[in-house]
Amino acid sequence: MTVVIDNNVIVDALKPNPEFEIDAQEILRLASKKSVEGFINANSLTDVFYVLRKEHGADKTKVMLQKLLLMLDIVGVAPADCVVALEKPTGDFEDALIDVCAKKMGADYIVSRDKKFIEAQTEVRVVGPKQLLEILSE
């Protein structure tokens, strides 16, 4: 199974949030064991770095992202992907871009904690972390 992991799930795993960290860390663990093929959009790395740097500092955050990239592959963002994402009716460009890139690389799911993203009409099904873990256990 191939999944694109949204920024919020990565941040929950690396900047532990007691409410969400267990499921987020389990998804990364499964990706590290290659039980799922995990991906992150290239542009998402900058967002994750920005958030984690505030908590951990730049040097520690760089190390964290280097370790993350041992677990996840990067989905490249091409200019055409940006154009297609801008044409989507959603008001959230970041979510639209993740959806476009997930479709481009044939992902089975996008995993996100963003309720609006989960409820949005997307080309690749968006599920929450807990839901993805339930799907994987079936």
Please give the order of strands across the beta sheet that includes 109-111.
Answer: 73-75, 37-41, 2-5, 109-111, 126-127
Q: What angle do CA 26, 65, 39 make, to 5 degrees?
A: 55
d(CA 51, CA 27): 20
Q: Pairing relation of β-strands 109-111 and 126-127?
A: parallel
Average pLDDT along the chain, 138 residues, taken 10 residues at a time: 97 89 96 96 94 94 96 96 93 95 97 95 96 95
The confidence score (pLDDT) of residue 15 equals 87
Whole-number pLDDT of residue 138: 85
Hey, what amino acid is at 6? D
Q: Which amino acid is at 136?
A: L
What domains does the chain contain, in order, with CATH numbers?
Answer: 2-137 (3.40.50.1010)
User: What is the reported pLDDT for 88?
Assistant: 92
What does the pLDDT read at residue 90?
82
